[in-house]
Amino acid sequence: MTGVLQHVGDDAPPRCVHCGKQAAGPCASCHRMICADCCTLTESSVKKWAICLECDRKKGRSLGHAWGSLILWLLLPLGILAVATALVGLLAHL
């Protein structure tokens, strides 16, 4: 026995970081141990991921953000085009 204060043996089941129950596996996003109750399965094109509810919420938010910027990028050239067309029209009248 070298140290009693050494952390629990390898055969001790990992605990869920959210509720303290026996963990089912690590979150695919933040790699913290989570149980079946505190994770949600996400189906990507390749395989199923188990991610914790916290990451699920974050992902939802970032997805919304991505859509927002995508729309912005779609509208930006249209806006520039509209301004350019207006300018050309203005110049043609001079």
Q: Which residues of the chain form contacts with Zn ion (CB under 5 A)?
A: 16, 18-19, 21, 27, 29-30, 35, 37-38, 52, 55
Instruction: Name, in order, each residue with C-beta under 8 angstroms of 22's C-beta and a sequence gap of 6 or more.
Output: 13, 14, 15, 16, 35
CA distance 67 to 87: 30
Provide the residue type at 8 as one letter: V
Of residues 63 and 83, the one with the C-beta less far from Zn ion:
63
Q: Read off the DSSP letter of residue 28.
A: T
Of residues 12 and 94, the one with the C-beta less far from Zn ion:
12
| Least Cβ distance, residue 48 to Zn ion (angstroms) | 15
Of residues 30 and 66, the one with the C-beta less far from Zn ion:
30
